[in-house]
Every structure is written in structure tokens, then in C-alpha cells.
Amino acid sequence: MKILVADRISPIGIDLFKSREGFEVIEAYGSSPEQILELVKDVDAIAVRSDTKVTAEVMAAAPKLKVVGRAGVGVDNIDIEAATENGVIVMNTPSGNTIATAELTFTHMLAGTRPIVQACARMREGGWDRKKFGGNELNQKTLGILGMGRIGAEVAKRAMAFQMEVLAFDPYLTESRAKNLGVTQMSLNEVIERADYITVHMPLTAETKHLLNADAFGRMKDGVRIFNCARGGIIDEPALMEALQSGKVAAAGLDVYEDEPPAEDSPLRSIENLVLTPHLGASTKEAQENVGIDVARQMIEALTGGMVMNALNMPSVDPKVLEKLGPYIQLAEKIGTFSQQLAPDSVEKITIRYFGKITEMDTLPLANAVQIGFLREISDNVNNVNAPKKIERLGIACDQLKSSSHADFNELIEVEVACKDGKTRTIGGTLFGKNQIPRIVSIDGHGVEVNTDATLLVLKNKDVPGIVGFIGVTLGEDEVNIANMSLSRETGEGFAVSVFELDSTPSEIAAQKITEHPAIDKFRVIKL
């Protein structure tokens, strides 16, 4: 496998790549966009920091590309949508710089409490202004943390060591985790209204852009202190400057900005009670080494069939769990393929139902497998990364439902496809025996038993004598051998579902004969 390391990462990370048998490492630091397009033509993976742009054009030029690894957190330089479309895993290393960013945040908090930056500058000028540079204490103050991920949690730990009360706002923070962290969970408004200090640890999204704006500042205590070492744009900078100048905000610290770097004449640079650093969150020796090692380990795991960790465009699944799910994944994909071929056009919804012990497992890989199977015959280059996106683009909703038991089976996966005309088709499957052999066991609620490695002729026919004989003769004349068959009669409705396992595919002439038989209502040739 060829690994392109386009930006400098830790030498230890490079050595990890080189230590793997069959891995070839191409170090191409500082390459131009044109050079990158040439280099990626036959690579399996690309490792980057923030300099190299992995664009849609790069993806298109790299037909073998499987993984893009970012040594760091931000992935603004990677076109994730294009990666997903091309079935390429995008991963980052969020834990490698956690401590570095948490410590920088606390450095800013201390600098905003005791004006050491300003005092140092005055000392260098020859001054000795002890009265001018009086400060405050963190002890017994209230810290509001917006975002309680890895970094927010580390900041909380350090704040508690300073005897601060910690309030937290995070829509994804559970009650149990808040309790374990020792923080008090509150709404956004409650946090910003009560906090003496506010620090931001959120991604920049449509919802978080200018989260701290003029209205938010108006809700805060007089003399509040605010710090952002997360993402520029979460704080409305003009509103912050006005609040600093009015005294509403006593001090602030920024490591990130809406535009980086800020213009040389940016008014931010002239505000005395605002401490600025040039995006230093991950700029420690330890963090730089950690993210390089982390990205190498993660990429190796993904490329060699291990656990996919910190992926931004697919779920992460432990290899041990994946091994246990293996037979179910095979079954789910076959059911997906079956349902697509059985269903009429204009499918608008796929509902996946799980019954029995399988409900105790992580079923997301099974849902992906169903979608891959469904797309197999109608789309190219389908895998775990892009299958959900491709299904979504087709306008098909996908739901998962779970039930602890089934009337007939200990475990069952059932897929129902619903069409725009209101019609539905349903396929159910399970595993047989200690070898966990996949079998299709129901079609539209009719019990059958069908191999999943076969060409199938599926009929809905009037329950009258001679149908089996007619099929046998027709296929015999076509030199198509029947390997097995399964019949299911509809009680009281006079119809039957018949499934024939075939050694080969019937010709168009044979298919026409079957279509024209007056007792045959529907038929499909299904290739599994």
C-alpha cells in the first residue's frame, strides 16, 4: 500500500508506517496542488496537517484512495462530501491535542484574571505600575463551559482544582456524564447569565456561529471574562470589542478568529484588556508528536481491516464487534440486494426490523450492509462510507426498529421497502445452525427457505395444479437446472409464493413464456 504523507508529522508516525510490511511511504512536504494531483494517482491513503488541500479534484485523481487522515482536529482543508461520494474514509485525531488546548485555555483564563501580559509589556518599557495591574482570583468563581467534549472536560478538571464552580452547556451532555465530571448542567442562557468566566469548546456550525453575540453579552454579568480557543466565528468579534470597551466584559482571550490571521490593522490588536495568541491551541511539542502518532495508528488500522477510529463520515466499529457481526452483515447485504430486485420502481422508504438477541448488538453496520446490498445493482463504487449518502440522494428514507422477540425465529432481520404508490415488499432472513448459514425465510410474510448464494425465480401465482410442472418444463427446455424449490400457500386467498433456486439465468424467451402464463400474477429473477 502507498501512503502519501503530504505535510510534516511526527517522525515516530512516519516510522510506524514504514514498519508495516507492504507499506510504501511517500514524503512530499510542501508539494504544490499540481504536484499533489500527480502524486495521488496510485496511493491508498493520504496523511495531512492543515496545509495540503484534499479537494474533490484530488479525490477524482486518486482511484485507489481509501483513507485521508488529518493529524489534528480541523478538517477545513478536506472535502468531506467528495470523500464520502468516493467512498473514502476521512479521520482526524481529536485527542492528540486535547491537553495542549485545555492548558492554553487555562493560560488565557489566568492571563485574563491577573494582567501579566500587560504588566510584562509595561516592565519592558521601564515602568513599575503595581497599582495599575491589580487582578482577581479564580477561587470561588463560577466558570461556564460551552461544549463538554474532551477539551471542555479537561478544562473543567483544572477549574475544580482552583476551587471554581463549573456550569456546563452542551446539548449532547448526558445527566450521568455531567455527574461523573462534577459539573452542573444548565441551558445556554442560564450558563451565560450566572458565569463569572465563560470558555468556548464547540465546533463552528450554523447553530454556533455568533453564539456569543450582542444579545448574549447583554445577558451576562457585568465584568464577565470570556475565552475562545476552539473555533473563530463562535464569538461575534465586533460585539465582543464593544463589550470590552464598555466594561461589560472585563477581559477576554482569543486564540482563534473569524479571519485568520486578523488584518494587521484589525481593531482587535489595539484593545488592552484582550489577550491574543496566533492559533496556538495544538502548538506544543507533545501535541505535535501525539497527533502524528495517532493519525498513523488510525490509518494503519483502517487500511488493514482493524477498527476505524475517529472517522468523520462513517461509524466507528470495534473489530471484535465486527467479527461477531460478520455473518449478520453478510445476511443483511443479501436481504438488501433481494429487496431491491423484488421491489417495483420508486422506492421511497426502507424499514429494517431486528428481532431477538441481535437487538443487543450495534445494528448500524447491519443497516449499512442493507443499504450496500440495495445499491449493489444500481450504483457503482458502493461501500460503508458512501452507502447512506447515496440512499439519501435517491430520496429514500431509512429507519431501524427493534423487537426483543419474534413468533417464529430466535433472531430475524426483516427489510420492508415501501414505494410511492403505497405498495410494500418484505424480505426476512436469519442464520441457521452452528455454522450460522444465512437463509431467506420469508417473502411478503410467506414462509420459505432459500439459499443466499443463488439465482432465484420468485413467483406469485394462482394456487392451481400444474404450475410447478409448467416451470419445470419451461426451464428444462431452456436448459436451466432447478437446484431447489420452496413453496408457500396463501390460506384462503388462492395464491401461492414459489421460489426456485436455479443453476443459471433463464433466457428472455423462457421469461416471456412464464410472463404469459394466465395463472402467474408476478415473477422476478433475483441474482444474489
- What CATH number is given to the structural domain containing 248? 3.40.50.720
309 domain residue, yes or no: no
Same domain, yes or no: 257 and 147: yes
Q: Which residues pair with 427 in a beta bridge?
A: 415, 443
Say which CATH number the domain at 480 has.
3.30.70.260
Predicted confidence at residue 317, as pLDDT, reads: 67
Same domain, yes or no: 250 and 113: yes
Q: Which residue has the higher pLDDT, 87 or 393?
A: 87
C-alpha cell at 6: 503530504
Domain of residue 425: give its range: 317-452
Average pLDDT estimate for 430-446 = 91
User: How far is 213 from 200, CA to CA, in rounded Å?
Assistant: 13
Same domain, yes or no: 399 and 507: no
308 domain residue, yes or no: no
Say which CATH number the domain at 321 has.
3.30.1330.90
245 domain residue, yes or no: yes
User: How far is 253 from 107, CA to CA, in rounded Å?
Assistant: 9
In this prediction, residue 428 has a pLDDT band, given cuts at 50, 70 and 90, of very high
pLDDT, averaged across the chain: 92
Same domain, yes or no: 335 and 402: yes
Query: What is the number of domains present in the chain?
Result: 4
79 domain residue, yes or no: yes
How far is CA 69 from each of CA 13, 54, 305, rounded to the nearest angstrom? 12, 10, 16
Same domain, yes or no: 145 and 267: yes
282 domain residue, yes or no: no
Same domain, yes or no: 445 and 467: no
Reduced to 3 states (helix: H, G, I; strand: E, B; else coil), residue 319 is helix
User: How far is 44 from 292, CA to CA, in rounded Å?
Assistant: 18
**Does the pLDDT at position 313 exceed 90?**
no
Same domain, yes or no: 179 and 232: yes
Which residue from 379, 380, 384, 355 is spatially nearest to 367, judged by alpha carbons? 384
Q: Which residues pair with 252 in a beta bridge?
A: 226, 274
Which residue from 282, 273, 236, 288 is spatially nearest to 257, judged by alpha carbons? 236
User: How far is 464 from 272, CA to CA, in rounded Å?
Assistant: 92
Same domain, yes or no: 149 and 200: yes
Predicted confidence at residue 469, as pLDDT, reads: 93
Same domain, yes or no: 140 and 221: yes
Task: Please spell the DSSP secondary structure of 402-422, one letter per residue.
Answer: EES--SS-SEEEEEEEEETTS
Task: Please spell the DSSP secondary structure of 341-399, one letter per residue.
Answer: HHS-S-EEEEEEEEEEGGGGS--HHHHHHHHHHHHTTT-SS--TTTHHHHHHHTT-EEE
Same domain, yes or no: 72 and 133: no
Predicted confidence at residue 379, as pLDDT, reads: 82
Same domain, yes or no: 516 and 390: no
**Does the pLDDT at position 491 exceed 60?**
no
Residue in the block written with cell 507533545:
286
311 domain residue, yes or no: no
281 domain residue, yes or no: no
Average pLDDT estimate for 393-401 = 91
**Does the pLDDT at position 454 exceed 60?**
yes
Q: pLDDT tens digits for 318-359?
A: 667 777 888 999 999 999 999 999 887 789 999 999 999 889
Strand 455-462 versus strand 495-502 pairing type? antiparallel
**Can you give the pTM of this predicted structure?**
0.66
**Does the pLDDT at position 51 exceed 70?**
yes
Predicted confidence at residue 319, as pLDDT, reads: 65
In this prediction, residue 8 has a pLDDT band, given cuts at 50, 70 and 90, of very high
Q: pLDDT tens digits for 170-213?
A: 988 888 889 999 999 999 999 999 999 999 999 888 889 999 99
56 domain residue, yes or no: yes
Average pLDDT estimate for 423-452 = 91
User: How far is 504 from 501, CA to CA, in rounded Å?
Assistant: 9
Q: Which residues pair with 456 in a beta bridge?
A: 501, 526
**Does the pLDDT at position 32 exceed 90?**
yes
**Does the pLDDT at position 513 exceed 90?**
yes
Q: pLDDT tens digits for 236-268?
A: 999 999 999 999 999 999 999 999 999 999 999
Q: pLDDT tens digits for 11-26?
A: 999 999 999 999 999 9
Q: pLDDT tens digits for 371-393?
A: 999 998 888 778 888 888 889 88
Predicted confidence at residue 201, as pLDDT, reads: 94
Predicted confidence at residue 290, as pLDDT, reads: 92
Same domain, yes or no: 270 and 291: no
Catalytic center residues: 231, 260, 279
